[in-house]
Amino acid sequence: MIKTLLGLLTCVIALNTSAYELKTIDEIHSAFKNNTISAQQLTQHYINRINKLNPQFNAVINIEPSAIAQAKKIDELSAKGLWAGPLHGIPVLLKDNIETTGSLPTTAGSLALKNNITNNDAFVVKQLRNAGAIILGKTNLSELANFRSSYSSSGWSAVGGQTHNAHDITRNPCGSSSGSAVAIALNFAPVALGTETDGSITCPASVNGVYAIKPSMGQVSRSGVVPLSSSQDSVGPMAHSLKDARLVLSVLQGRDTLDTSTHSFQLQALPDAKKSSLVIGALPSDKFTVETQRLYQNQLSALQQAGHKVINIDITDDLTSLFVDEYYVLLYDFKKEINHYLVNTSAQVKVKSLSALIDFNKQNKAAEMPHFGQDILIQANAIDLTQTDKYQKTKQRYRTLATAAITNLYKNNNVDVVIAPTTSPAWKTDLVNGDNFKGSSSSLSAIAGTTHITLPVGKVSSLPVGLSIIANKNQPQAAYQHAQIIDEALFRP
C-alpha cells in the first residue's frame, strides 16, 4: 500500500514537473503524442499555477469556466487518433477586450463593462477554436487600452487592479496588453493574445521577456474586440518562441466580412536561417537608457560575428507633425467607435455612450479613478465628428509620412531588415505620477500598419529588454524570415 502511494506521488510530482517544463507548442504536442500528459492535465496545471501565483501579479482577471470541458473534448479526439488542428489542446489566454461565448464578460478593464457578457466569439477566438485551441481565460490590461488618462499607470484597471512585471513586482509591466505578457513570462499558458494601437503588444512583451508579433494592418480581424482606433488597432500573439508566435498568427489571420480591412495572407515555410546572411540596418539607441544602449551594441556585435553586415542608419524624414496627427486620429476614432460599441451592448450594460462612460467614472470615482483621471476620454468626447474632411486629410498625411519613413530606411540604406531596441527596461510602477517610458520603437509600424516583431534578447539588471524588427511596407513574410535569422544569431547573456 505504501509503495502504491509512493508510486502515485512520484507520478504526480513527475507530471507537475513535466507540465511546468512544457512551454512551446512542439513540446506540448510531443507530450500529448507520447501520452505523458493529457490536455485535461495540462489545462488543470495552468489553472493551478494561475491560482497559486496570480495573486502576486494580477495578470489574469478570469479563468474560463469551460476550460476543463474543452480539454476533455480534445482528449476524446486524441483517444480516437484524431487531431483538432495546429493548436490541438493548446491553452490560450485572451486580453480582456476580446469577446468570447459563455459566461465571462468582456470588460476592457472598466467597471462600466463588468456585465458585458456578449456570448459572442471574436473572429480571432473562432479561429483559435477551429484550430483546436483551449480558451483558458482573460488577462488584465490597462483600462480601455490605456486611452483614459495622460497620467495612467500601465497595467492598471478598475476591474483587475495593477498588474506587476513578471521579473520584479515593483516594476511596471507596460501596457496595455500587460496581463498577456506577464502571463506568458510566468508560464500561465503557452500562448496569449494582446492588442495594440501603438506599442501595447510590443512594449509589454519586451519588458517581460517574451516573443510577440504586432501584425500588418488587415492581416488579423478586430471584430469582437473593444475598439480604440480602427486606423491602428491590431490583435497579435505572445509566446515562448518566435515559431509559436508565427504559428498562432497563421491561425488568427484571414478575411472577415465584419472587418473590411482584412484580406488574405499566406505565411510560407521559412528557409534555413543558418544559410542566410543579412544587411541589417541598426537605428540609433540614444533615446534608451545607457544600459539598454550597451546591450544593444553587444547584440550588434553578435550579429556581426554571426556573419551579418550591420550598418548604422537613421530616420531622415521630418516627423514633426506625426504624433500630433496620430493623437487627433486616435481621439476621433475612439469617440466614434466606442460610441458605436457601447450603444450595441446588451441591456446588462447601462453605459451606452462615451459621455455616459465619463459620467459613470465620475459617479464611481473611488473605484474608477483612485489614482488617475480621464482627461483623454474628455478630450475624445470634445472631438467634432462632423469634421470628416479634416479627419481624412490628417489620417492620409500621418499614414503617408510614417510609411515613407519606413520605406526610406530600407531604400536609402539598401538594407534587408531594420532593427532597434523595443524599449528600455521596466520602470518602477508609480500610481501618482504615471508611466516613465524611456524610448520606444513602436510608432512608425503602428501608424504605417506594418509588421513589428519583438524578440527577448537579454536583461539589464535582471530586467528583460527586447529587440524590434521593423518590417517594410507589404513585407511581413520577409520580416518573419529575418526575425528568425536574427533570433538564432543573438547572444543572450
DSSP string, 7-24: HHHHHHHHHHHHHHH--S
95 in catalytic set: yes
Return the bridge partners of 94, or none.
138, 193
User: Which regions of 264-366 does DSSP assign to beta strands (E)?
Assistant: 279-282, 309-312
Helix (H), strand (E) at residue 183: helix 178-185
Residue 148 in 3-state DSSP?
coil
CB-CB contact of 160 with 166 (8 Å): no
Catalytic residue list contains 442? no
Check 110, 200, 285, 440 and give the catalytic one: 200
Q: Which three cell numbers stand for residue 368?
A: 474608477
Q: Choose the catalytic residue: 176, 223, 285, 440.
A: 176
Task: Confirm if 57 and 166 have CB atoms less than 8 A apart.
Answer: yes
6-26: burial string, b at 16+ Cβ within 10 Å, e else: eeeeeeeeebeebbeebbbbe
Phi/psi for 45 (5° steps) reads: -60, -45
The span from the CA of 250 to the CA of 452, in Å, is 15
**DSSP secondary-structure letter at 426?**
P
- In sequence order, the 6+-apart residues with CB closer than 8 A to the CB of 305 are none
Helix residue spans in 344-374 (DSSP H): 354-363, 365-368
Residue 176 catalytic?
A: yes
Per annotation, catalytic residue among 38, 78, 95, 178: 95
Which residues 6+ apart lie within 8 Å of 356 measured at CB? Answer: 342, 350
Which positions are catalytic? 95, 176, 200
